[in-house]
């Protein structure tokens, strides 16, 4: 299970604005303090950059699509975002 999984959702007939659907996972308690530091120093800033990149695209951009994902995983002591080690 990912540490964080975020999806960009476009407006639809029921909701007139962009939004993010966010799910969070868990880590073993022995890794909690380490992961907390990684979340604060790497994951949150990376997510903010990703979110700003998507929301700043023109409304008609082909890159601005429903369901674009930001996936962060904690694997063997490292943070991985969208399949890349950070």
CA 42 centroid distance within chain: 11
Containing structural domain, residue 48: 4-85
CA dihedral 55, 61, 66, 69 (to 10 degrees): -60
- For 1-30, how does the pLDDT look when each residue is reduced to its tens digit (9 = 90+)? 799 999 999 999 999 999 999 999 999 999
- For 40-77, how does the pLDDT look when each residue is reduced to its tens digit (9 = 90+)? 999 999 999 999 999 999 988 988 889 999 999 999 89
The answer to whether the Cα torsion of 61, 56, 42, 24 is positive or negative is negative
- Total domains in the fold of the chain: 1
């Amino acid at each position: 299970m990912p540490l964080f999984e975020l999806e960009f959702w476009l407006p639809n007939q029921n909701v007139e604005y962009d939004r993010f659907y966010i799910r969070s996972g868990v880590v073993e308690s022995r890794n909690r303090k380490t992961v907390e530091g990684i979340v604060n120093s790497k994951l949150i800033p990376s997510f903010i950059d990703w979110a700003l990149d998507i929301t700043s695209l023109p409304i008609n951009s082909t890159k601005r699509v429903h369901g674009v994902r930001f996936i962060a995983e904690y694997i063997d002591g490292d943070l991985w975002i969208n399949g890349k080690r950070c």
